[in-house]
Amino acid sequence: MPGSKRNQLEEKGWNVGDAGDFLGLSKEEEALIELKLALSREVAATRKASGMTQAEVASQIGSSQSRVAKMEGGDPAVSFDLLLKTLLKLGVDKKAIGKKIAAA
């Protein structure tokens, strides 16, 4: 992983490996982050395609605008549970979610 990408992730708050590990993420850590970011992008893309604001999505899923912003921004303190719950409520079906994950 290039240092530039690493820095982008660390700036976002991702805990990239143990302290002192300057050589990169383990394969699984990297895959987990990629998966989460893929779902984040899917939330943003789905919302924009439907013409809704973050506040409207928040109301639809029973959450708040700030949390939707964190979801879309790839905040590490957002769970897969919340991302999946959100996508399903926005009408994205399991098949589409699975494809995104497989391709991430």
Partner DNA sequence: TGAACAAATGTCGAATCTGACATATCGTGA
Partner DNA sequence: TCACGATATGTCAGATTCGACATTTGTTCA
Tell the residue number behind the tokens 């984040």, with chain if given. 40
Are 78 and 88 spatial neighbours (Cβ–Cβ below 8 Å)? Answer: no
Q: What are phi and psi of 81, to 5 degrees?
A: -55, -50
> Least distance from C-beta 23 to a copy of itself, angstroms?
19
Residues that bind a copy of itself in the complex, under the rule CB under 8 A: 27-28, 31-32, 34-35, 79-81, 84-85, 88-89, 93-104
Considering only residues 84 through 103, tell me which ones interact with DNA, judged by CB under 7 A.
none
Query: Residue 36, interface with DNA (CB under 7 A)?
Result: no
Sign of CA dihedral 80, 64, 54, 74: negative
Q: Which residues bind DNA (CB under 7 A)?
A: 53-55, 58, 61-67, 69-70, 72-73, 76-79, 81-82
